[in-house]
Amino acid sequence: NAGVTQTPKFRVLKTGQSMTLLCAQDMNHEYMYWYRQDPGMGLRLIHYSVGEGTTAKGEVPDGYNVSRLKKQNFLLGLESAAPSQTSVYFCASSGPGQGGADTQYFGPGTRLTVL
């Protein structure tokens, strides 16, 4: 049982390049999330999904796109990377829980640097 995995662990991009971060979970969770973590700002929600084929915007969605074609996978795309997107990205998943706010299980993170 691997839990939540993220690929890749590290990546360096040049401004304007594109890339996709992959998140996979094996817990049959309905909900999946993408966060970014920056010093002194905690975790901020980028996009999330409440089920296969659905996505929704979070707190800081600009410059990112997501897709949830399979229940176990949640992809985060950067179409044209900018230095402001240098951050650590975390994926998480959860069940529907009580009132839609259950325990989230986090991946190990992807450290992205945009030059």
Partner 1 sequence: AQSVTQPDIHITVSEGASLELRCNYSYGATPYLFWYVQSPGQGLQLLLKYFSGDTLVQGIKGFEAEFKRSQSSFNLRKPSVHWSDAAEYFCAVGALNKLSFGAGTTVTVRA
Of 97, 106, 17, the closest CA to residue 50 belongs to 97
Considering the complex, state which of residue 86 and residue 106 has its C-beta at the smaller distance from partner 1.
106
Give the footprint of partner 1 on this chain (CB under 8 A).
4, 31, 33, 40-45, 48, 50, 58, 90, 92, 96-109
CB of 16 to partner 1, least distance (A): 29
CB of 15 to partner 1, least distance (A): 26
Considering the complex, state which of residue 87 and residue 104 has its C-beta at the smaller distance from partner 1.
104
Judge whether 88 and 111 are in contact, CB under 8 Å.
yes
The Cα–Cα gap between 45 and 58 comes to 5
